[in-house]
């Protein structure tokens, strides 16, 4: 499954970034994964998109098969640090101006990238994105059962428990891949095995958890109110996402000046996996214009 793609490594500043690249024609399109994820989040999208674009799917620092620097989270795992890595990858591969497709943590990174490196970005596609317009709804009492893991990830105990065995890692990741999907049996055992292998790499659990630690300890550019992105942006939002409900899309127009918004029916948090044909079609149409 993973072997059908071409894998590479690039030096982005001080960080070695692992990435999959397919197709060398057309506009470069960078796919940014979320948590729990890595490049494999896009395995049902890369092939179709590569028919028209130069597709690059990296593992963000701390994830999968990229470097996992031993730095304080508030220094090494902020959205700005990730955005700088993406810019470093663009420079290393001499991509010029790119399009970015992203969700979850990747969507936060994409927004930070758009704000920090506006001239390097052409268009943006986001799925169910965390953004400032959500406001305090993250922490409303009724939503607390959905975000318990974000507090759990602050603890060293989280790494010790989840990483105590491959079975423990599998159970933890399987919970989120199932719970956040509309179809609770969506991910196959073979797919889940890919996630377990990636998060069993040395430092991968800590690297993923460090993103949540960074957001708690340091200012987050992409989640701080007061900005607006001018790039044409397509937002696709699953109507059954329990962690980032579609009702929270109500303030998108305040933050994206040129917004196209579409709701995906019977789709949860993992739009690119849950509705790959629709997502691929929407990306091709939006980025191809």
Q: Which of 59, 79, 104, 241 is catalytic?
A: 104
Q: Would you give the DSSP letter of residue 62?
A: T
Task: Tell me whether residue 43 is one of the annotated catalytic residues.
Answer: no
Beta bridge partner(s), residue 126: 102, 235
Cβ atoms of residues 113 and 87 within 8 Å: yes
Measured CA to CA, the distance from residue 181 to residue 243 in angstroms comes to 10
Active-site hit among 77, 212, 215, 255: 212
Q: How confident is the model at residue 24 (pLDDT cuts 50, 70, 90)?
A: confident
The fold adopted by the segment(s) 2-288 is: Rossmann fold (3.40.50)
pLDDT at 8: 98
Q: Which residue has the tokens 């990858």?
A: 89
The question of whether 269 is a catalytic residue gets the answer yes
Q: Integer distance in angstroms from the first to the last C-alpha of the chain? A: 31
Nearest alpha carbon to residue 222 among 58, 80, 103, 17: 80
Q: By the 8 A CB rule, do 120 and 282 touch? A: no
Higher pLDDT, 191 or 222: 191
DSSP secondary structure of 239-282? TT-SSS-GGGGGGGGGTEEEEEEEEETT--S-HHHHSHHHHHHH
Give per-residue pLDDT as tens, 246-271. 999 999 999 999 999 999 999 999 99
Q: What is the pLDDT of residue 219?
A: 84
Catalytic residue among 18, 33, 153, 269: 269
H/E stretch holding 28 reads: strand 28-32
How far, in Å, CA of 259 to CA of 86, rounded?
23
**Cis ω before 63 (30° cut-off from 0):** no
Spans of all domains in the chain = 2-288
Q: Is 9 helix (H, G, I), strand (E, B) or coil?
A: strand
Mean pLDDT along residues 147-156:
96
Is 164 in contact with 220 (CB distance < 8 Å)? Answer: no
Asked if residue 231 has pLDDT above 80, the reply is yes
pLDDT of residue 1: 64
Contact 99, 122 (CB under 8 A): yes
R_g of the chain computed on alpha carbons: 17
Is it the case that residue 157 has pLDDT exceeding 80? yes
Of 75-84, 211-220, 240-249, 264-273, which gets the smallest average pLDDT?
211-220
Distance CA 56, CA 74 (A): 27
Q: Which of 87-96, 122-131, 212-221, 247-256 has the lowest mean pLDDT?
A: 212-221
pLDDT of residue 193: 98
Report whether pLDDT(3) > 70.
no
Q: H-helix or E-strand containing 19?
A: strand 15-22
Residue listed under structure tokens 């999208």:
45
| Average pLDDT, integer, range 18-36 | 95
């Amino acid at each position: 499954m993973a072997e059908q793609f071409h894998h590479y490594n690039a030096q982005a500043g001080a960080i070695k970034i692992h990435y999959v690249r397919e197709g060398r024609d057309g506009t470069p399109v960078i796919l940014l994964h979320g948590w729990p994820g890595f490049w494999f989040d896009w395995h049902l999208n890369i092939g179709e998109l590569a028919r028209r674009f130069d597709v690059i799917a990296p593992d963000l620092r701390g994830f999968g098969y990229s470097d996992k620097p031993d730095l304080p989270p508030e220094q090494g795992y902020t959205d700005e640090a990730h955005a700088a890595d993406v810019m470093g990858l663009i420079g290393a591969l001499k991509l010029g101006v790119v399009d970015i497709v992203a969700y979850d943590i990747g969507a936060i990174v994409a927004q930070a990238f758009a704000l920090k490196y506006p001239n390097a970005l052409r268009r943006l596609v986001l799925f169910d994105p965390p953004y400032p317009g959500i406001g305090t709804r993250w922490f409303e009492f009724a939503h607390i059962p959905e975000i318990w893991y974000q507090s759990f990830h602050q603890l060293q105990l989280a790494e010790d428990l989840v990483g105590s065995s491959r079975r423990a890692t599998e159970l933890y990741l399987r919970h989120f891949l199932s719970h956040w999907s509309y179809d609770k049996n969506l991910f196959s055992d073979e797919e889940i095995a890919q996630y377990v292998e990636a998060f069993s790499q040395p430092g991968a659990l800590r690297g993923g958890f460090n993103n949540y630690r960074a957001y708690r300890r340091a200012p987050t550019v992409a989640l701080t109110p007061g900005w607006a992105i001018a790039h044409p942006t397509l937002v696709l939002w699953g109507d059954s996402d329990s962690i980032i409900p579609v009702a929270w899309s109500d303030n998108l127009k305040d933050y994206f000046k040129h917004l196209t918004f579409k709701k995906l029916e019977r789709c949860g948090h993992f739009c690119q996996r849950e509705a790959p044909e629709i997502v691929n079609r929407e990306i091709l149409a939006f980025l191809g214009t």
